[in-house]
């Protein structure tokens, strides 16, 4: 088998194209994570902050009726 016939096969060309597409997809995934990862972080932080303020009763944006702790008999 000569050098040229080894690298001119359709199978090797397909593998090369697949590897290239895989690298492009990984790059796009990393860019997507960088852009939207920060937005997800801030959304989660706001949700946690809202839940904390609701549980402590310090919420200014929601009216929450306070329930006193009562013994169950």
29-48: pLDDT as tens digits = 888 888 788 888 888 888 88
Is residue 68 very low, low, confident or very high in pLDDT (cuts 50, 70, 90)? low
CA dihedral 19, 20, 26, 29 (to 10 degrees): -140
Q: Which residue has the higher pLDDT, 4 or 58?
A: 58
Considering the entire predicted model, what is its pTM? 0.40
Asked whether 59 and 50 are in contact (CB, 8 A), the reply is yes
Asked whether 54 and 62 are in contact (CB, 8 A), the reply is yes
Domain locations in the chain as residue ranges = 8-51
């Amino acid at each position: 088998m000569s050098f040229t016939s080894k690298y001119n096969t359709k199978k090797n060309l397909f593998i090369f194209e697949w590897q290239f597409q895989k690298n492009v997809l990984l790059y796009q995934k990393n860019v997507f994570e960088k852009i939207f990862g920060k937005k997800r972080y801030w959304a989660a932080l706001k949700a946690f902050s809202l839940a904390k303020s609701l549980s402590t009763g310090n919420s200014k944006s929601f009216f929450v009726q306070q329930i006193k702790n009562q013994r169950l008999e």
